[in-house]
Structures are given as structure tokens and as C-alpha cells.
């Protein structure tokens, strides 16, 4: 099959952006600040749940989840089952609170429960979490598009220019309509993502050159499709991965302004709940399909004795080199759509949180100021990608979950304490504990990670001793307590708040 011409990929991306601009123009004709923040509370729930697929299954999932089959078989599904249960917790615990208080930023609840310093602390944790998550996702896309497209079409084209172009495009179709526009662009992007998944399954089968029966038989006899590679108890076992999946979903979705902003744009609490409960089943199906693609591609590589340098690149390299022109173009569109779908709402939510939580802007603020703030958010993400994310080691999705484990854990602890108990805590203490929790967690996990490294030298990456100081520390903390870190850290935070409550010795009226 012919390889995709980099110039063809570029033309396809340009056409895709023009389509996004058209949708943006149509949906933002009468948009105001309220439209940007919460879509005037007029978003149909069925559109929300459909668009949520593209937002949750980002370009990282498309590439990294399929690539994880090479290293951990179908073990990722254990975490996905936890994700699904987490959506039930969000629907029946968090959403009723957000709608009862009619918040624009979900961290306004922290101000009502504890005080202004708590709200600012929660918003800072979100801004760090979402900025790093969005930057890592965009960095993966920028690296791939730069290596496979821009650097080949334009000789000597700098990486920073590729990043700048991507962020400029996202800004241009979101700066006016915000979440009102994103709700509808996500519909297009989800459609392209699902089309990519379906086409990729059949193209992978074609590459293998065997019938479904032969492929299924071969995979069932191998370890590629093992759902429980580490058993049910112990490190990286089903229990650990499931529980961490629940906590990660509650943190990364239920306590994330970007994810909740679309739910808050629903017409009612009931519609918002239907959105999440429906999606809890969809997330299982879509991730399973991604792992199936990964299994098929892994089988293709093994059968043909092909070795790839990095698991994140497996899907992209095979799709653009072996899928043929039509299927390859569909893959490029799906990859671009899934990445932008998870990044455009991040930029919008970061802008919303900063405007509402820090600057205390309301809907009457001049629109040009909000648009300027949105531009500064894009510039900040640009600097983050160039200075930090470009050099990260390991699978991109592992880096996203690693950052989330440290930054969302304090939010989980604070919200858990605020919802489960009626005890008061001095606002100043909440802010201190929000900062102390991730610092202590990093120190503890770095120590245990160093112990693990010393006793498992044979399991280290071949280039480990060439890592710079930052990447080496990231490796240490990732090996400290692994996936369960967010659980320990959140409980630690809630415990500190409980002890701090004795200083006030008061309860809510």
C-alpha cells in the first residue's frame, strides 16, 4: 500500500481546520460571556454525551492506549472499569451539588464551604493539572506532526513553529463561542474518531492477511489479550487499578472544570446525569476497541518481525505507512480530531477558571478582556510544551495519569472532607494543606522510587542513566506507589483536614 504524502496530510489538516472555523462562525454569531462559560445552559444532553467521547478519548488515548498493549497487554481495561464506576459517583454526588449552588466554576463550591483561599487553592490545582495534561497531549501531537509532516514539507521548519500553529488554530475557533462552540465541534470530532477506530480495525485485519477466526485463535493463545496480567491482589493488580481508576475519574472529570463545564451547560441536572451515566458504558466500549486495535497491530508486528522504537508511535507509523491513502487520511483526521477535542475545552476551561476564581469576572465584563485572557492561556501552554513536555520520557498517557495523581489528589481530599463531614476548617489551613499534600507525596514516592530502582536494576530502561535530573525524578516518583498514589494522597489530605478541624471545633449550621 502507498505511504501517505506529507503534503497530502497537510492539505487534509488545512481542510479540517476550515471546517472547524465554519462551525465556530455559525455557533458563535450571538455568543457572549455566558455562552463562552456555560453555553447559556442550552446544550442537549445527547450532544453532550456524544461529544464527551471525543474529549475523553484524546489523541493520547488513540496512540498511547493502543501502544500499551505492547507492554501491558489488556491490563489497562482494569483501570477503565474503575473509570466507568467513577462516573456514577460524579453523577449522584458531585453534580447535584454543582447544580444546587448554580456555580460557573466548580471551585466556587470551595468558597461556599471553606472560604476564598480554598477556592483559589482548588483553582490553582486545576490550572496546574489541566495545563500539564493539555500540554502533554498537544506535545505528543506536535512531535508527531512535526516529524512526519511539517519538517518534511518545509525543510528546517522549527518545532516551536509547529506548536505555535496548532495553538493558534485552537484559539481562533474557540476565542468567541467558547464552550458553546466546543459542544458542536466535539460532535464532528467524535464522529471522525469513531470512524477512525472502525476503519482501523478492518485495516489491521487486512494487513495481517488472516481470517477473524485465525486471528482470534492466535491472540487468545498469547499474552497480548490478558486482562489481568498481574492478578487480582498486589501491586498493579485488578483491585489497585480499579480503585485508582475510580479516584482518577472523580478527580480528572468530576473535579475538573474543563470536563464539568460541558455538564454545567446542560439544561437540567437530570440531563447532566444522563450524559455521564450513558458515557460510563461508552468509555468501556471505546477503550476496548482501542486495545483490540493495539492487539491486532501488535500481532502484525510480531508476525512480520517488525520492531518499533517507541510504543506511542506504533499506531501512527503503521497507519500512515501501511493503511493506504483513504484509510490513512481518515486516521489523520481522527487523530487530529481527538487531540483538538481534548485540548480546546482545556484552553476554554483554564480561561474560565482564571477569570471566575482569580479575577472574579462576571458575564458583564467586556468580551475583549476575556478574549485577551484566552490568548494568554494559549501562550502559556506554548511555553509549557516547549520548556517541559517536549523532553518527557515514557508513554504519554502514563505521564498524564502521573501528573493527575499528584495534582488532583488534594482536590479529591478537600472535596471528600467537605461533602462527607460537616466540620469547619479555617480557610487558611485548607490552602496550606492543598500545597503540603502533593509536596509530601512527591517526597515519599521519590524515596520509595529510588529504593525500587536500586533493587530492580535489570528492569530499568536502557537509556535510564542518560536521563536528565527532571526525567529521572519523574521516573522515581512513577515507581514509588504507582497507580494507587492518588488514593493514598487524597486520603492523606482528607486526614490532615480532619485533624485541622479540631482547631476550630465547629460544624456547619
Q: Which domains does the chain have, with CATH numbers?
A: 37-392 (1.20.1730.10), 401-509 (no CATH)
| Most confident stretch, 178-187, 312-321, 387-396, 490-499 | 490-499
Residue 478 in this model has a pLDDT that exceeds 80? no
- Residue 90, pLDDT > 90, answer yes
Grid cell, residue 47, equals 450532544
Please name the residue that has the C-alpha cell 462576571.
362
Q: Tell me: pLDDT of 35 over 60.
A: no
Our CA angle for 138, 144, 146, nearest 5°, is 95
Given a cut of 80, is residue 378 above it in pLDDT? yes
Q: What is the pLDDT of residue 176?
A: 63
The beta strand positions in 448-507, using DSSP E, are none
* pLDDT > 90 fraction of the chain, expressed in percent and rounded: 7
Average pLDDT over residues 257-271: 78
The secondary element (H helix, E strand) that includes residue 346 is: helix 325-353
Residue 495 has pLDDT above 90, yes or no: yes
Q: Are 139 and 342 in contact (CB under 8 A)?
A: no
When mean pLDDT is compared over 140-154, 203-217, 430-444, 463-477, the highest value belongs to 430-444
- Scored b (16 or more CB within 10 A) or e, 14-53 reads eebbeebeebbeebbeebbbbbbbbbbeebebebbbbbbb
Record the cell numbers describing residue 141, joined without a space: 501531537
Q: What is the pLDDT of residue 372?
A: 85
Instruction: Kindly report the backbone phi and psi dihedral angles of residue 507, in degrees, each rounded to the nearest multiple of 5, phi listed first.
Output: -125, 160
First to last CA, the chain: 70
Half-sphere exposure of 63 (CA within 13 A, CB side): 33
What's the pLDDT at 119? Answer: 85
Q: Quickly state the pLDDT bin for 30 (edges 50, 70, 90).
A: low
* Burial of residue 422 (number of CB atoms within 10 Å: 0-12, 13-18, 19+): exposed
CB 201 within 8 A of CB 292: yes
Tell me what the mean pLDDT of segment 346-356 comes to: 76
Backbone phi, psi, residue 332, to 5°? -60, -45
User: Residue 285: which H helix or E strand, with range?
Assistant: helix 269-303
Measured in whole angstroms, the distance separating CA 191 from the mean position of its chain's CA atoms is 19
Give, in degrees to the nearest 5, the angle at Cα 125 between 122 and 130.
120
**pLDDT at 128 exceeding the cut of 80:** yes
Q: Is the dihedral of CA 39, 52, 87, 495 positive or negative?
A: negative
Band of residue 355 on the pLDDT scale cut at 50, 70, 90: confident
What is the three-state SS of 99-129?
HHHCCCCCCHHHHHHCCHHHHHHHHHHHHHH
- Sequential DSSP letters for 157-193: --HHHHHHHHHHHHHHHHTTTTHHHHHHHHHHHHHHH
Mean pLDDT, range 80-93, rounded to an integer: 91
Q: Residue 413: which pLDDT band, with cuts at 50, 70 and 90?
A: very high
Closest by Cα among 475, 358, 494 to 416: 494
Mean model confidence pLDDT for the chain: 78
User: Is the C-alpha dihedral spanning 343, 81, 238, 438 positive or negative?
Assistant: positive
- Which is more confidently placed, 8 or 185? 8
| Three-state secondary structure string covering 26-38 | HHCCCCCHHHHHH
pLDDT tens for 143-201 read 778 877 888 888 888 888 888 888 888 887 776 655 666 667 777 777 887 888 888 88
Give the mean model confidence (pLDDT) for residues 368-386. Answer: 83
CA distance 236 to 280: 23
Torsion of CA 444, 450, 455, 460, to 10 degrees: 130
Q: What is the mean pLDDT of residues 428-440?
A: 89
Q: What is the pLDDT of residue 209?
A: 81
pLDDT exceeds cutoff 80 at 95: yes
Closest C-alpha to 343, from 188, 161, 182, 122 = 182
Cell numbers found for residue 394? 515514557
- The cell numbers describing 24, all together, are 465556530
| Torsion-angle region of 150 (φ positive above 0: left; ψ -120 to 50: alpha; else: beta) | alpha
- pLDDT band, very low/low/confident/very high, at 496 (cuts 50, 70, 90): very high
Whole-number pLDDT of residue 492: 92
Greater confidence (379 vs 52) lies with: 379
Q: What per-residue confidence (pLDDT) applies to 45?
A: 62
pLDDT of residue 10: 83
Average pLDDT over residues 469-485: 74
d(CA 181, CA 174): 7
Find, among 378, 356, 380, the residue nearest to 33 by Cα.
356
Amino acid at each position: 500500500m502507498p505511504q501517505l504524502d506529507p503534503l497530502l496530510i497537510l492539505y487534509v489538516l488545512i481542510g479540517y481546520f476550515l471546517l472547524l472555523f465554519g462551525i465556530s462562525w455559525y455557533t458563535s454569531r450571538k455568543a457572549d460571556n455566558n455562552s463562552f462559560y456555560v453555553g447559556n445552559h442550552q446544550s442537549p444532553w445527547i450532544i453532550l454525551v456524544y461529544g464527551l467521547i471525543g474529549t475523553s478519548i484524546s489523541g493520547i488515548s488513540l496512540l498511547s492506549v493502543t501502544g500499551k498493549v505492547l507492554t501491558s497487554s489488556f491490563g489497562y481495561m482494569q483501570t477503565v472499569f474503575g473509570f466507568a464506576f467513577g462516573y456514577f459517583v460524579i453523577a449522584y454526588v458531585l453534580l447535584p451539588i454543582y447544580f444546587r449552588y448554580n456555580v460557573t466554576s466548580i471551585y466556587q463550591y470551595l468558597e461556599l464551604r471553606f472560604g476564598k483561599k480554598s477556592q483559589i487553592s482548588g483553582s490553582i490545582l486545576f490550572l496546574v493539572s489541566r495545563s500539564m495534561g493539555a500540554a502533554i497531549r498537544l506535545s505528543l501531537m506536535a512531535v508527531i506532526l512535526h516529524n512526519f509532516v511539517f519538517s518534511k514539507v518545509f525543510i528546517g521548519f522549527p518545532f516551536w513553529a509547529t506548536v505555535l500553529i496548532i495553538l493558534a488554530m485552537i484559539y481562533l475557533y474557540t476565542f468567541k463561542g467558547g464552550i458553546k462552540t466546543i459542544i458542536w465541534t466535539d460532535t464532528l470530532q467524535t464522529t471522525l474518531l469513531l470512524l477512525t477506530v472502525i476503519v482501523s480495525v478492518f485495516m489491521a485485519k487486512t494487513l495481517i492477511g488472516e481470517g477473524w477466526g485465525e486471528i482470534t485463535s492466535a491472540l487468545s493463545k498469547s499474552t497480548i489479550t490478558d486482562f489481568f496480567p498481574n492478578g487480582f491482589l498486589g501491586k498493579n493488580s485488578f483491585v489497585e487499578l480499579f480503585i485508582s481508576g475510580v479516584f482518577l475519574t472523580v478527580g480528572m472529570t468530576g473535579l475538573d472544570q474543563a470536563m464539568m463545564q460541558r455538564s454545567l451547560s446542560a439544561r437540567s441536572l437530570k440531563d447532566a446525569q444522563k450524559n455521564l451515566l450513558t458515557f460510563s458504558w461508552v468509555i468501556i466500549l471505546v477503550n476496548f476497541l482501542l486495545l483490540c486495535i493495539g492487539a491486532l497491530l501488535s500481532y502484525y508486528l510480531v508476525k512480520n518481525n517488525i520492531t518499533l522504537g517507541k510504543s506511542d508511535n506504533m499506531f501512527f507509523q503503521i497507519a500512515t505507512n501501511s493503511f493506504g491513502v483513504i484509510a490513512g487520511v481518515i486516521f489523520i483526521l481522527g487523530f487530529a480530531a481527538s487531540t483538538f477535542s481534548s485540548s480546546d475545552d482545556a484552553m476554554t476551561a483554564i480561561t474560565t477558571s482564571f477569570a471566575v476564581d482569580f479575577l472574579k469576572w462576571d458575564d458583564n465584563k467586556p468580551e475583549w478582556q476575556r478574549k485577551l485572557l484566552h490568548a494568554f492561556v494559549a501562550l502559556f501552554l506554548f511555553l509549557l510544551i516547549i520548556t517541559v513536555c517536549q523532553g518527557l520520557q515514557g508513554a504519554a498517557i502514563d505521564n498524564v495519569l502521573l501528573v493527575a495523581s499528584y495534582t488532583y489528589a488534594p482536590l479529591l481530599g478537600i472535596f471528600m472532607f467537605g461533602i462527607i463531614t460537616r466540620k469547619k476548617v479555617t480557610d487558611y489551613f485548607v490552602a496550606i494543606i492543598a500545597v503540603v499534600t502533593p509536596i509530601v507525596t512527591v517526597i515519599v514516592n521519590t524515596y520509595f522510587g529510588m529504593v525500587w530502582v536500586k533493587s530492580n536494576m535489570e528492569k530499568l530502561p536502557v537509556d535510564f542513566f542518560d536521563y536528565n535530573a527532571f526525567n529521572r525524578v519523574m521516573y522515581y516518583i512513577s515507581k514509588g506507589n504507582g497507580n494507587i498514589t492518588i488514593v493514598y494522597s487524597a486520603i492523606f489530605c482528607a486526614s490532615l483536614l480532619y485533624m485541622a478541624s479540631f482547631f476550630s471545633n465547629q460544624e456547619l449550621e
